[in-house]
Amino acid sequence: MSDTETTSTVSTLYIDFDAFFANVEKQLDPSLHALPVLVCPMDTPRSGVIACCYEAKAFGVKRGMSRQEVNKIAPNGVFRPARHEIYVEIHHKIIDVIETFIPVRRSWSIDEMECDLGTMDGKAALTLAENIRDALSDVIGPLITPSIGIASNQLLAKIGAEMNKPRGLELLEPRFMPEKIHKVPLKDVPGIADGMLHRLQLANVTTLPHLLALAPKQARAIWGSVEGERMWRALHGEHVVKPETKRGMFGHSRVLARDWQDPVKAHECLRLLTTKAARRLRKEAYYATKLTVSFKDFHGGKFKIEREFSALRDDYSFLRIMAEAFDSLISSSRIKRLKHVAIFLHGLQKHAQLSGDLFSKPEDTARQETVSEIMDVLNEKFGGEMLHLGKRVELPGGYAGGKIAFGRIPTRAELGLSAPQQSNWLERLELDAESEGIPTQRPSQKRHQPGFPPMANRC
C-alpha cells in the first residue's frame, strides 16, 4: 500500500461559515431566530437576494431571487439590507478567535478560512476543530455557525466543510480516500465550473468516481493543463499545495438603483468605483496600463471600451481616462438608461517591471501620485471618504462596491470605517443595532477545555 492509503495524518483545516450574512443578522436580532431571513444589497422593493438562511432555503429560496419571487414561496420571509461594515468587523473577530488556537494561513473570503495543521493526527485535528467551534460559539455567538473540513490538502478540506452543512465537521483522512467522496456531485467540486463540466461530459465523465478512475495524464488532457492532474491527485488524498494565483486586475461593479440609471448619475457612480479600485491598486503596490469601462442596458445589451496608457496609479489620471472612455461609449451606444456599470484597472505592473517612461513622466503626474497616496493614508486612518476628489456622492446602500466580494474582504477604509479601536467590539455592534431599533442578544462566555490555549482577552 502507498502512504496515501495508510496514513491518518492531515495538514489542512478549512472553515466555511453557514449562511454567514443571514446568521449574523439572526445573532444580532433574537426575534429572527426561527424565521427565514434574506439579505439584500439595498432596502428597496426591487433589490434581489444575495444571501439567505437555511430556513429560507427550505422554502426553495435561492441567491439572486427577487423579492416578488421570494414572497410567493416564503411569505413570512424577513428582508434585511446588507450591513457590510458589521460583517467585516465580525470576520476580523472570528480570525482573532481562531488564531488563539492556530494561525489562519489564508482567508479565502469573508466567511471562509484555511489553517495549516502541519502534520497532525486525524483524531487530534478533530479535537482541535471541536474546540475552535466551541470558542466561536462562546465569543462570536451560537447562531453564527461554522462547518469545518479536515484533510490532506485545501481542496479536500473545502469539500469536507461543504459535505454536511450546516454545523458540519468532516474528517477526510488519506487512508479512506477517494471512496469517502464518491457521492459528491461533480458540480459541487471546487474548480469544476459549467465550462469544465461540459468538457468532462464530452469525455463521458459524469460522476466523481468516473473522474477518479482516470489516469492522471487523462485528467491533464481534459483540462488542457497541469491543473487537471493536480486536481486528480488532490482528490485522491495526496498532499497537493494550491499554487498562488497571480493578480490580474482591480475592479468594481454596481447594479444601479432606479434613480441612478441615467448617464449622469451612472458616471458619478463610476467615479466612486474608480477611486475604490485605484486605492486597492496602490495598497498592493501596483501600476495599471489599461482601463476598461463596461455597462449593461435593460435589453440584454453589453457594452465596453478599453484604454491603454503608460503605467499610472493616481486617482486624477484614472478619473480623467474613465470619463473620456465613458463619454465615448455613451455617445456610440446612445443608451439612455443603464442597468449595471463596471470599471477595471488591468495590465498590471510592479515598480520593478516599469520601463524608463516612468522616470520621464510629467511633473503634474508625480504630484498627483503623491496626493493620492496621502489621501489613502488619511482615509485609512480616519475613515473611508474623509478626502476625495470632486463633490462627495453617497450611493444607495452605502458601500461603493454594492456587495461583499465573496473572494475578497473589503478593508475598513473602503467601508468608511476608521482604524479599529480597543473598545468592546460586541458592545459597539449592539449599539449600532439598537440605534436602528433592533434588539440584540449577547453570546455567553464559557471557559475553554484544559489542554488548549486560553482565549485572549480581545473583547
- Per-domain residue ranges for the chain? 8-176+427-447+454-459, 178-236, 250-382
Fold adopted by 8-176+427-447+454-459? Alpha-Beta Plaits (3.30.70)
Relative orientation angle of helices 20-28 and 425-435, to the nearest 10 degrees: 80
**pLDDT on residue 307:** 97
- The arrangement of secondary structure in 250-382, i.e. its CATH architecture, is 2-Layer Sandwich (3.30)
What's the pLDDT at 408? Answer: 64
Sheet holding 104-109, edge to edge: 104-109, 112-121, 9-17, 146-151, 169-171
Non-local (6+) Cβ contacts of 285 within 8 A are: 350, 351
Cis amide leading into 216 (omega within 30) = no
Strand pairing partners for 22?
none
Q: What is the pLDDT of residue 396?
A: 65
Are the CB atoms for 217 and 226 separated by under 8 Å?
no
The per-residue pLDDT string of the chain (459 residues; one tens digit each, 9 = 90 and over) reads 343 444 689 999 999 999 999 999 999 998 999 999 999 987 777 788 999 999 999 999 999 899 999 999 999 999 999 988 899 999 999 999 999 999 999 999 999 999 999 999 999 999 999 999 999 999 999 999 999 999 999 999 999 999 999 999 999 999 999 999 999 999 999 999 999 999 999 999 999 999 999 999 999 999 999 999 999 999 999 988 777 778 899 999 998 988 899 999 999 999 999 999 999 999 999 999 999 999 999 999 999 999 999 999 999 999 999 999 999 999 999 889 999 999 999 999 998 777 655 445 566 778 888 889 888 888 888 766 677 787 777 776 555 544 454 556 766 666 655 555 444 545 555 555 555 454 455 555 443 433 333 333 222
CA distances from 425 to 94, 139, 459 (A): 12, 11, 6
Cα separation, 144 vs 289, whole angstroms: 42
Q: Note if the pTM is more than 0.85.
A: no
Q: For 178-236, which CATH class?
A: mainly alpha
Q: Across the beta sheet with 249-255, what order do the strands follow?
A: 249-255, 340-346, 288-296, 302-312
Q: Which of 396, 132, 376 is nearest to 278 (CA)?
A: 376
Compute φ and ψ for 171, nearest 5 degrees.
-105, 120
Q: Report angle CA 303, 307, 309 to the nearest 5 degrees.
A: 170
* Cα gap 394→9, rounded to integer Å: 52
Largest distance between two CA atoms of the chain: 69
